[in-house]
Amino acid sequence: MTTQPPPHPDHIFDRELITESLDRLANSYHPRTQPVPESPALMLPESLPEAGIGDGAALDTLAPVVLDASAQLHHPGYFAHMDPPTPAITWAASLWQVATNQNLLHPDAAPAARSLTERVVNWLAPSFGMSGGHFVPGSTIANLTALWAARQLKQVTRIAASDKSHLSIRKSAEILGLEYIALPTNSRHEVDISTLTQLDRTALVLTAGTVATGTIDPLIWPDETAWVHVDAAWTGPLRLTDRFASCLAGIEAADSVGFSAHKWLYQPKGSALVLFRNAKTAHDALSYGGGYLATPNIGLLGSTPAAAVPLAAMLLSWGRTGLVERIESDMGKADQLADLIKSDPRFLLWGPNQTGVVVWRPLNAEPSVVRSRLQNGWVSLTEVDGQTWFRSVAANPSADPSYLFDQVSAAL
Amino acid sequence: MTTQPPPHPDHIFDRELITESLDRLANSYHPRTQPVPESPALMLPESLPEAGIGDGAALDTLAPVVLDASAQLHHPGYFAHMDPPTPAITWAASLWQVATNQNLLHPDAAPAARSLTERVVNWLAPSFGMSGGHFVPGSTIANLTALWAARQLKQVTRIAASDKSHLSIRKSAEILGLEYIALPTNSRHEVDISTLTQLDRTALVLTAGTVATGTIDPLIWPDETAWVHVDAAWTGPLRLTDRFASCLAGIEAADSVGFSAHKWLYQPKGSALVLFRNAKTAHDALSYGGGYLATPNIGLLGSTPAAAVPLAAMLLSWGRTGLVERIESDMGKADQLADLIKSDPRFLLWGPNQTGVVVWRPLNAEPSVVRSRLQNGWVSLTEVDGQTWFRSVAANPSADPSYLFDQVSAAL
């Protein structure tokens, strides 16, 4: 019998190349002046190059684009979007994920990664009162999946959500061919469901953390509502904390919950969860068989990466208490920033910090103009009630509220 | 003014940890006896641990699951699913992607990654006659996105595809609320569209590479067909080769094309593209604005990782000619395996190798029983015309046809 042949040269373990990429990453990782640099002219051929330049030269060519011209999410002055910097433990575990490249679609192609994924789902689901669910690449897909289940299981014909809900709810309604009803909100941006009719035909989406202001809708609804989904894309992880779990009280009675792990669980992009109170029924409704599949394909995606690997590594490393410390520290930073804003008459604070999203503006300057003058800091811009505001999100554990506040003050 | 504060301890560059994960990966990378091992009992707590065990211990705990119990896609005896092992250049570039964690949703959060992504799309689209498109996490989402565009732009009410088409076409029809029509196929599994009516209301999906046998539908259709989408999930990259591009002749006249980069472009899972002949019109139809977005959100996902980074690195390193060498070498391996099967009276070959998918069976033994006896090799099982067959896919550049064939013969 033929003896075991050697691997292909592309698939011999290449420590030197990974070490080179690590060296370049180390060099670029020190915080620069500008957390968000200008996008460079791409020094890349306009069409697919005929001849290859080799691994080392490919890294040389891409480093100015991928490393030097990236937004530095870990920059102390980056207090901007809902995108956290990823901790090193997720880099270490993602290297394993990319190298083993398991496909959750099929037991053969992911004998252990499937069990690990289920375990991580089971670690998280009970905090939300849910019995299970699955990983999805983002909260838009979580929302669409949950509303697809609502249509299959409860024959809903309409989706109702606050007029401040995420655009993915409108998008889901359109894709699923359901009517979309925008419910009014009060001055604090909380939904008012009192006018909602035909509850037995309606999937009600409650938003736990609007994009603009981080507002949480009251998590209460009439019993006859056909399906209740909570879009907790941003705030979901608060449920794991001691101090802030009660912000989401009521979520345990929902039919489904979605949240992003790549937001407040500090994961690399492409990691979110959709959870169901009755996961078995929901998964059965979203299952497709195929002659080449040993087990049914559940949910929207087919081939799926093992996003649970870096999340499992981080949760094991930090434990729940370690995660809580970091989220509560983020919340503390948002409080500090809010206090600085309140104490300075040059600025207006939209409302108190509720979920780590601080909305503010200079009283006598255009936010976009001030932002364009920022030297060592960054805030995102948002539209609230027709006006442009700064939005500072506490997703970066390295962000420094005083430093950012000084930067913005200097740019007035 | 406050001087720049230091980063959070989680976000100091931790070379030691990455090196440790690399060491463990190196130790596990040598091909084992069994390419697909038993899934181990998970030595992990059943509920989310309260106390953290630290980064190093987290890697210690997960290594037996993630590394030792993974399917070795690079094993010389692994001639199984459409999941390739990833080359080292994708590990190096993915490390950058995970560490910088750019979000393609927003220019602020990905100043350079958005341009790079557009460049990579523009490298690939012309080979398919398409003008542009975007990355998606897999071909199921590519198919759904294309058919969503068909419904928005051409008001199709039905989706027609061969009875051998991928389950994601049925799934897309159900999600989009469209009628699904399964078209008959001939003995070679090619679609017969002669009976199709109401073409002006139909989105026709042609399959370029069925899952079971790799068959390509004839890429021809009547002019009055409202929308034609080619599901080239597996075979798409053949279009970049010299020898096999003509297998997909006709694709350039389609309205949309989808294919997976995590299949025959050797990328980590979560990487696929949907391309459109008229990308501007299609993207306009799939665009949603939001008060916090500087540019519209296009397509199904919201936050999106920069999957173009590892793909750009590999394409630069190898060039088109290097990629072609590897795909043509894979096709050569499929031919070798088919020749071995044909020359041995104990086995039956379903049909000639067309697209790297070899379907075969022992004449006097149950395929599932033979597979269960395999010691150092692996094939996938598939159902073809009601019977179980082996399916061997040439996605692993380290696979050795003679070695696998000897393994299977020994297991008879």
DSSP letter for each residue of B73-86: TT-TTB--SS-PPP
Q: How far apart, in whole angstroms, are the C-alpha atoms of residue B316 and residue B312?
A: 6
**Both tokens assigned to B284:** 């306009």
Q: How far apart, in whole angstroms, are the C-alpha atoms of residue B203 and residue B228?
A: 6
The whole-number pLDDT of residue B294 equals: 80
pLDDT digits (tens, 9 = 90+) for B132-164: 999 999 999 999 999 999 999 999 999 999 999
Q: In chain A, what are the domains?
A: 91-316 (3.40.640.10), 319-410 (3.90.1150.10)
B70 CB neighbours in chain A (<8 A) are 100, 102, 110-113
CB of B333 within 8 Å of a chain A CB? The answer is no
- Provide the shortest C-alpha distance from residue B388 to chain A (in Å): 9
Q: pLDDT band for position A11 (50/70/90)? A: confident
Chain-chain contact of B144 with A85 (C-beta, under 8 angstroms): no
Q: Do A406 and A234 contact (CB within 8 A), yes or no?
A: no
Mean pLDDT computed over A68-87 = 96
CB-nearest to B301 from A65, A140, A397 is A140
CB-nearest to B305 from A67, A97, A269 is A269
The whole-number pLDDT of residue B88 equals: 96
CB of B117 within 8 Å of a chain A CB? The answer is no
Chain-chain contact of B36 with A111 (C-beta, under 8 angstroms): yes
Q: A232: closest CA among B340, B196, A250? A: A250
pLDDT digits (tens, 9 = 90+) for A290-334: 777 788 999 999 999 999 999 999 999 999 999 999 999 999 999
Q: How far apart, in whole angstroms, are the C-alpha atoms of residue A339 and residue A277?
A: 39
Q: How far apart, in whole angstroms, are the C-alpha atoms of residue B187 and residue B183?
A: 13
Q: How far apart, in whole angstroms, are the C-alpha atoms of residue A384 and residue B217?
A: 51
pLDDT digits (tens, 9 = 90+) for B326-385: 999 999 999 999 999 999 999 999 999 999 999 999 999 999 999 999 989 999 999 998
- A7-21, A78-92, B192-206: range with lowest mean pLDDT: A7-21
The whole-number pLDDT of residue B10 equals: 83
The whole-number pLDDT of residue B226 equals: 98
Best B1, B66, B163, B297 residue to mutate vs chain A (most A CBs within 10 Å) = B66
> Which residue is closest to B168 within chain A, CA to CA?
A302
ipTM over 0.90: yes
Residue A203 has pLDDT above 60, yes or no: yes
pLDDT digits (tens, 9 = 90+) for A160-196: 999 999 999 999 999 999 999 999 999 999 999 999 9
Chain A from 369 to 408: CB within 8 A of any B CB: 376, 378, 380-384, 391, 397-398, 400, 402-403, 406-407
Question: Count of CB contacts below 8 A, A vs B?
Answer: 527
Classify A158 as helix, strand or coil.
Answer: strand
Q: Do B334 and B405 contact (CB within 8 A), yes or no?
A: no
The whole-number pLDDT of residue A2 equals: 63
Chain-chain contact of B108 with A36 (C-beta, under 8 angstroms): yes
The whole-number pLDDT of residue A39 equals: 83
For tokens 């999100």, what's the residue?
Answer: A393
Torsion angle, CA of A113/A117/A122/A124, rounded to 10 degrees? 140
Chain-chain contact of B317 with A54 (C-beta, under 8 angstroms): yes
Torsion angle, CA of B171/B174/B175/B178, rounded to 10 degrees? 120
pLDDT digits (tens, 9 = 90+) for A119-161: 999 999 999 999 999 999 999 999 999 999 999 999 999 999 9
Q: Do A239 and A265 contact (CB within 8 A), yes or no?
A: no
Look over chain B and give the mean of its residue pLDDT values, rounded to a whole number. Answer: 96
CB-nearest to A317 from B26, B55, B171 is B55
Mean pLDDT computed over B240-267 = 98
B54 CB neighbours in chain A (<8 A) are 317
Taken as a whole, chain B contains a residue count of 412
Q: How far apart, in whole angstroms, are the C-alpha atoms of residue B56 and residue B21?
A: 9
For tokens 């696979």, what's the residue?
Answer: B399
Residue B214 has pLDDT above 80, yes or no: yes
> Which residue is closest to B5 within chain A, CA to CA?
A76
CB-nearest to A83 from B88, B109, B406 is B109
Give me the phi and psi of B156, to 5 degrees please.
-65, 150
Residue A1 has pLDDT above 60, yes or no: no
Mean pLDDT computed over A280-292 = 90
A303 CB neighbours in chain B (<8 A) are 83, 138-140, 260, 262-263, 269
The whole-number pLDDT of residue B39 equals: 83
Residue B1 has pLDDT above 60, yes or no: no
Q: How far apart, in whole angstroms, are the C-alpha atoms of residue A310 and residue B62?
A: 10
Q: How far apart, in whole angstroms, are the C-alpha atoms of residue A184 and residue A206?
A: 12
CB of B8 within 8 Å of a chain A CB? The answer is yes
The whole-number pLDDT of residue A81 equals: 96
Chain A from 207 to 226: CB within 8 A of any B CB: 211-212
Chain-chain contact of B66 with A21 (C-beta, under 8 angstroms): no
Chain B from 336 to 375: CB within 8 A of any A CB: none
DSSP-assigned beta bridge partners for residue B158: B179, B202
Q: In what order do the strands lie in the sheet with A256-260?
A: A132-136, A272-276, A256-260, A227-231, A202-207, A158-162, A179-183
pLDDT digits (tens, 9 = 90+) for B10-67: 888 999 999 999 999 999 999 998 999 988 889 999 999 999 999 999 999 999 999 9
A336 CB neighbours in chain B (<8 A) are none
Look over chain A and give the mean of its residue pLDDT values, rounded to a whole number. Answer: 96
